[in-house]
């Protein structure tokens, strides 16, 4: 199982290739961006667990990349380690003021960087800020976002789950199940990229439960886009025979063969007009009920 996903933002090909080879050998998934704008796109697409970010880049500098990531609700939780030749105290302070989590200067010890990466990822998970399986916001960040809805009007919420994931994971294994969760996260991010804004929020509650907060006006369009994207590509996670027949064959507790349909995504929707809501528990209960209705065809 992967140790985590790292995005290396570095325009020096020798340095980025060295880091890619080294961290892959340590069990990490590694993505490389030679430009700041590419880094912003890859962050939304790949949802890394940590970003190793050089300050000196050919287009926009690392400070601007950091600022934009922190200004976007979907990427604001991702830890950032600045990697730079600058060793001036004011440069370090500026990076930390923008929200960087750590700072290391060139030339650096790759073993030290590995430990900083590992510790940064673990700290985010322990603080319940990031889901280790999807890289999405989790725990306290989701609660914080939901509490913020209490003081707003015009909000919309989508509560999302995956029907059939348990049977899939029992057949193909835990790692394949984690891949599906990652795929679902990519589906949600893709839908927001297409139809949403930087103020929209995506969280991974746990298991196969996801949440999106947005404006009420975008709820229906987002739901349709999420279902379309999921249905279009979910079949790629199955073997060819299962994909062609359209169902998975599993055994029940009595040893009988049972046909289980391919996974589908369930999306319950809720808006502020469905209230009034006096606390976030009422919001989550109403959202869960909406998702149950979507699964039963109601």
pLDDT digits (tens, 9 = 90+) for 245-257: 999 988 777 778 8
Closest among 53, 57, 33 to 45, alpha carbons compared:
33
pLDDT of residue 123: 86
Burial of 68 (0-12, 13-18, 19+ CB in 10 A): middle
Please state the rounded mean pLDDT for residues 190-200. Answer: 93
pLDDT digits (tens, 9 = 90+) for 209-228: 999 999 999 999 999 999 99
**pLDDT at residue 52 is higher than 70:** yes
Rounded percentage of the chain residues whose pLDDT exceeds 90: 60
Every domain of the chain and the residues it spans: 5-126, 139-296
User: What is the DSSP pairing of strand 155-163 with strand 209-215?
Assistant: antiparallel
pLDDT digits (tens, 9 = 90+) for 69-102: 998 888 888 999 988 776 666 677 777 778 788 8
Which is more confidently placed, 279 or 24? 24
Under CATH, which number does the domain 139-296 receive?
3.30.70.270
Query: If pLDDT is split at 50, 70 and 90, which confidence band does 298 have?
Result: very low
User: What is the DSSP pairing of strand 209-215 with strand 201-206?
Assistant: antiparallel
Rounded percentage of the chain residues whose pLDDT exceeds 70: 96
Are 5-126 and 139-296 the same fold in CATH? no
Four-CA torsion 181, 193, 64, 118, nearest 10 degrees: 0
Give the architecture (CATH level 2) of 5-126: 3-Layer(aba) Sandwich (3.40)
Please state the rounded mean pLDDT for residues 275-286. Answer: 88
pLDDT of residue 88: 64
**pLDDT at residue 108 is higher than 90:** no
Please state the rounded mean pLDDT for residues 235-240. Answer: 94
**pLDDT at residue 259 is higher than 80:** yes
Q: What is the mean pLDDT of the chain?
A: 89
**pLDDT at residue 169 is higher than 90:** yes
pLDDT digits (tens, 9 = 90+) for 19-39: 999 999 999 999 999 999 999
């Amino acid at each position: 199982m992967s140790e985590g996903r790292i995005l290396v933002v570095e325009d020096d090909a020798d340095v980025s290739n060295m880091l890619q080879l080294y961290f892959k050998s340590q069990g990490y998934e590694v993505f490389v961006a030679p430009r700041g704008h590419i880094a912003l796109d890859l962050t939304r697409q790949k949802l890394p667990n940590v970003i190793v970010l050089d300050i000196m880049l050919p287009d926009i500098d690392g400070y601007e990349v950091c600022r934009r990531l922190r200004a976007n609700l979907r990427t604001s939780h991702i830890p950032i380690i600045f990697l730079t030749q600058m060793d001036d105290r004011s440069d370090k302070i500026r990076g930390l003021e923008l929200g960087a989590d750590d700072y290391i200067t060139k030339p650096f010890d790759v073993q030290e960087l590995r430990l900083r990466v590992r510790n940064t990822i673990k700290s985010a998970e322990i603080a319940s800020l990031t889901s280790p399986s999807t890289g999405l916001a989790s725990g306290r960040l989701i609660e914080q976002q939901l509490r913020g809805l209490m003081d707003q009007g015009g909000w919309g919420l989508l509560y999302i789950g995956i029907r059939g994931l348990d049977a899939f994971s029992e057949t193909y294994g835990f790692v394949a199940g984690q891949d599906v969760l990652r795929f679902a996260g990519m589906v949600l991010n893709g839908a927001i990229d297409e139809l949403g804004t930087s103020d929209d929020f995506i969280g991974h509650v746990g298991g196969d439960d996801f949440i999106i907060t947005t404006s009420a006006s975008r709820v229906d369009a987002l739901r349709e886009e999420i279902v379309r994207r999921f249905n279009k590509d979910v079949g790629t996670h199955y073997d060819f025979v299962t994909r062609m027949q359209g169902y998975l064959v599993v055994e029940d507790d009595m040893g009988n063969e049972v046909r289980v349909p391919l996974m589908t995504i369930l999306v319950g929707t809720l808006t502020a007009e469905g209230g009034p809501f006096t606390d976030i528990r009422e919001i989550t209960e109403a959202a869960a009920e909406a998702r149950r209705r979507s699964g039963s065809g109601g």
